[in-house]
């Protein structure tokens, strides 16, 4: 817990809150929990990678490696959790969508048994559009890094 002068701000976000804040579900939910939430500024997402992930069946048999695009998606989902909590997004009427991605670099593979720590910080925020810088790490090694943007949009009515 971090102490704020006016109130206590919870810095850890459990799976129940993540499920309430973003629409992703298995097998596409790529954030297990978050920590170090700093409203409007930063968050750290955690993904525990297991051999049971469906993508490991084909990527690659005998040499399982998490696809880079899914690491980037996990960074984006972490950013969406930060946006949703910061803006108190009405998840019944709005969805957070990826807008752009720049400067993606893949540095080291992610394998079953790894724990990815996704450090995401806000570079710029205007109304319902956020630009982020994210770094995914396993231990002290950078697995991937990227800059990306997301926006809040109205969810179509059924």
CB 74 within 8 A of CB 30: yes
DSSP helix/strand/coil, 52:
coil
> Is 24 designated active site?
no
The DSSP letter of residue 2 is E
DSSP helix/strand/coil, 61:
coil
33: its two tokens: 């929990």
The catalytic residue among 59, 94, 111, 131 is 59
> Whats the size of the chain, residue-wise?
158
Helices (H), the chain: 15-21, 68-87
Hey, which residues are catalytic here? 59
């Amino acid at each position: 817990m971090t102490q704020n002068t006016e109130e206590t701000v919870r810095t850890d976000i459990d799976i129940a809150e993540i499920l309430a804040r973003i629409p992703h579900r298995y097998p596409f939910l790529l954030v297990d929990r978050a920590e170090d939430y700093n409203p409007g500024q930063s968050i750290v997402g955690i993904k525990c990678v297991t051999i049971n992930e469906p993508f490991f069946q084909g990527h690659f048999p005998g040499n399982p490696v998490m696809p880079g695009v899914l690491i980037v998606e996990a960074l984006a989902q972490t950013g969406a959790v930060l946006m949703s909590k910061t803006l108190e997004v009405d998840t019944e009427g709005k969805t957070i969508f990826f807008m752009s991605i720049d400067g993606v670099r893949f540095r080291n593979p992610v394998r079953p048994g790894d724990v990815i720590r996704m450090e995401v910080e806000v570079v710029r925020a205007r109304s319902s559009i956020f630009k982020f810088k994210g770094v995914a790490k396993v231990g002290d090694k950078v697995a991937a890094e990227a800059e990306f943007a997301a926006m809040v949009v109205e969810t179509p009515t059924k």
